[in-house]
Amino acid sequence: MNILILGSGGREHALAWAIRQNPKCDRLIVAPGNVGIAGVAECADLDVLSRADVLEFAQENAIDFVVIGPEAPLASGVSDALRSAGFLVFGPSQAAAQLEASKTFTKEICDACEAPTAGWARFADAASARDHITAQGAPIVVKADGLAAGKGVTVAETVEQAHAAVDAIFDGEFGDMSVVIEEFMEGEEASFFVLSDGTGCLPIGTAQDHKRVGDGDTGPNTGGMGAYSPAPVLTDDLQAQVMERIIRPTVAEMARRSTPFQGVLYAGLMIRDGQARLVEYNVRFGDPECQVLMMRLGAQALDLLLACAEGRLAEAAVTWADDHALTVVLAAEGYPGSYRKNTPINGLNALPETGFEMTFHAGTAEKDGTVVATGGRVLACTGRGATLAEAHQRAYALVDAIDWPQGFCRRDIGWRAL
C-alpha cells in the first residue's frame, strides 16, 4: 500500500514508526513531516489544511490510505474531500470533528445521551462570563470554545485567575472564540482511546498524560510534558463502565444525528471514587500519548486503522503484550510561553532506535547539517519495558544522552504509578 500521513509532530512520527513496520506498507509519505520522520518515511512539502492540495497530492502519488494526524485538517474538512474522491481515510468528517473543535457541541452531545460530565455554561461576552465566575466561585475551569493547540484551558484556583483567563480569550489570544465555563472536577485524570467505524467501537489502550509544565503537576497547562501506558487507574471494570456510559452513547448519538464518527475517540476522563466523568473528547491521537501507544502496538497499528476506516472493527482485535511504555517531552526553555528557536540539539545520532527505546521528533528541523529546535515541545524520549520502572529508566537514559542546554523536561513522569 501507498500510505500518506498528514502532520509534522511527535504523534505523526510515532504513527509513521509503527506503520512502517507493517509489511502491508510499501511506500510511506508524511506531509509535511520533520527531520526525525525523514528517517522512516518520505517527507513532502504540502499544505495539509488545503483540501485541494491534499487531494491533488493523493491522486498524483496513487495513495491507497490517508491517516490524518492533527485536529486542524479534520476541522477543515480534508477527510470529507478525500472520501468524496474515493480515498480510504482514517479520521472523522468535519461535522464529526466538532467533538473536539467545539466544546459546546461536545457538551450538547453529552447532555443528549446522558454521558456524565462537568456542569457547564457557554458565554459570548466577557461581562456575563465574569459574572458567572463570581457567582460560582473557584476553583473553576475556563475553556476557549475552539481549537487552541491544547492551550485553551485554564484550571483557575481563584476567581481572579478565572477572570484573567476569560479576558485573554475574549481579547483574541486563540482567535475569535466564545467561552465555556465548567465546574471543577476533582480526581485523577486518565486518557482512554477507542476506535469507532461509525457504529462499532474497539478500545485500543489507556494512558496518563502530564499537562502541567513543572514537576509535581505545577505551573501552567501545556500540550503535554510526558505520558505512560497503560494507566493503572483505568481498571478493566472502569473501562467497561466508560464504554457503557460514555463512549457507546456518544457514538450512537452521533449516528442518530447523521454525523457518524469514524476514527479515534480520545476520551479525557476524571476518575473519582470508582466513577468516571468525561473531561473532553479529542478526535485524533493525543500527543504525547500516541508515542506510548504506538510503542506498545507496533506494526498492528496499521491493521487496526485499516479495520476502522473500512468498517471492519467487529472482526478486529488488539494484541497486547504485558508491557509498559513511558515518554518524556523535551521542551524549549520558556515553553508554554515565549521561547527561542533554532537552538542546536546534539547527541541525537548516537541514540538507540529499537522496539524498546525511540526518540520521536516534534518541533525539529535541519539547518546546515545540524538538528535545531523549531517548536515548544521538541522531542519525546520514549522507553518500553516489562515494568513501568524499566520503561522509565530507558526513557530518561535517552533524555540524559541528549545535549541541548536550551531544553528542559519534567523529571517526574509516571510518578502516580511509580
Provide the phi-psi class of 205: left if phi over 0, else alpha when psi is between -120 and 50, else beta. left
Provide the phi-psi class of 185: left if phi over 0, else alpha when psi is between -120 and 50, else beta. beta
Same domain, 198 and 300: yes
Give me the phi and psi of 256, to 5 degrees please: -60, -30
Residue 240 has pLDDT above 80, yes or no: yes
Spatial separation of the C-alpha atoms in residues 342 and 338, rounded to whole Å:
13
Q: Tell me which of 138, 154, 183 is where a domain ends.
A: 183
Going by C-beta distance under 8 Å and a sequence separation of 6 or more, which residues neighbour residue 408? 330, 331, 333
Domain tally, the chain: 4
Residue 404 has pLDDT above 80, yes or no: yes
| Residue 153 pLDDT class (50, 70, 90 cuts) | confident
Asked if 208 and 193 count as a contact pair (C-beta separation under 8 A), the reply is no
Does the pTM surpass 0.85? The reply is yes
Spatial separation of the C-alpha atoms in residues 15 and 297, rounded to whole Å:
10
pLDDT tens for 181-224 read 999 999 999 999 999 999 999 999 999 999 999 999 999 888 89
User: In this predicted structure, which of 41-45, 155-159, 262-266, 407-411 has the lowest mean pLDDT?
Assistant: 155-159
The candidate with the shortest Cα–Cα distance to 213, out of 128, 337, 353, 374, is: 337
Same domain, 268 and 334: no
The CATH number of residue 144's host domain is 3.30.1490.20
Same domain, 267 and 218: yes
Percent of the residues in the chain that have a pLDDT greater than 90, as a whole number: 90
Question: Does 147 reside within a domain?
Answer: yes
Copy the grid coordinates of residue 398.
535517552
Same domain, 216 and 275: yes
Question: Does 112 reside within a domain?
Answer: no
| Residue 174 pLDDT class (50, 70, 90 cuts) | confident
Same domain, 392 and 377: yes
Question: Does 98 reside within a domain?
Answer: no
The CATH number of residue 8's host domain is 3.40.50.20
Chain mean position to CA 47: 20
Same domain, 130 and 177: yes
Residue 151 has pLDDT above 70, yes or no: no
Same domain, 199 and 161: no
pLDDT tens for 302-329 read 999 999 999 999 999 999 999 999 999 9
Residue 292 has pLDDT above 90, yes or no: yes
pLDDT of residue 220: 86
Same domain, 41 and 77: yes
Same domain, 221 and 298: yes
Question: Does 50 reside within a domain?
Answer: yes
3-state helix, strand, coil in the chain (%, to 5): 30, 30, 35
Spatial separation of the C-alpha atoms in residues 97 and 199, rounded to whole Å:
16
The CATH number of residue 194's host domain is 3.30.470.20
- Sheet of 179-183: strand order equals 120-123, 179-183, 140-144, 153-156
pLDDT tens for 24-61 read 999 999 999 999 999 999 999 999 999 999 999 999 99
| Residue 361 pLDDT class (50, 70, 90 cuts) | very high
Same domain, 235 and 337: no
Question: Does 166 reside within a domain?
Answer: yes
Question: Does 111 reside within a domain?
Answer: no
Same domain, 160 and 204: no
The CATH number of residue 332's host domain is 3.90.600.10
Residue 149 has pLDDT above 70, yes or no: no
Same domain, 227 and 295: yes
Copy the grid coordinates of residue 258.
447523521
Range of 44's domain?
A: 2-91
Percent of the residues in the chain that have a pLDDT greater than 70, as a whole number: 99
Spatial separation of the C-alpha atoms in residues 271 and 263, rounded to whole Å:
24
pLDDT of residue 237: 96
Question: Does 110 reside within a domain?
Answer: no
Q: Tell me which of 315, 345, 370 is where a domain ends.
A: 315
Q: Tell me which of 153, 183, 213 is where a domain ends.
A: 183
Side chain identity, residue 301: A
Question: Does 344 reside within a domain?
Answer: yes
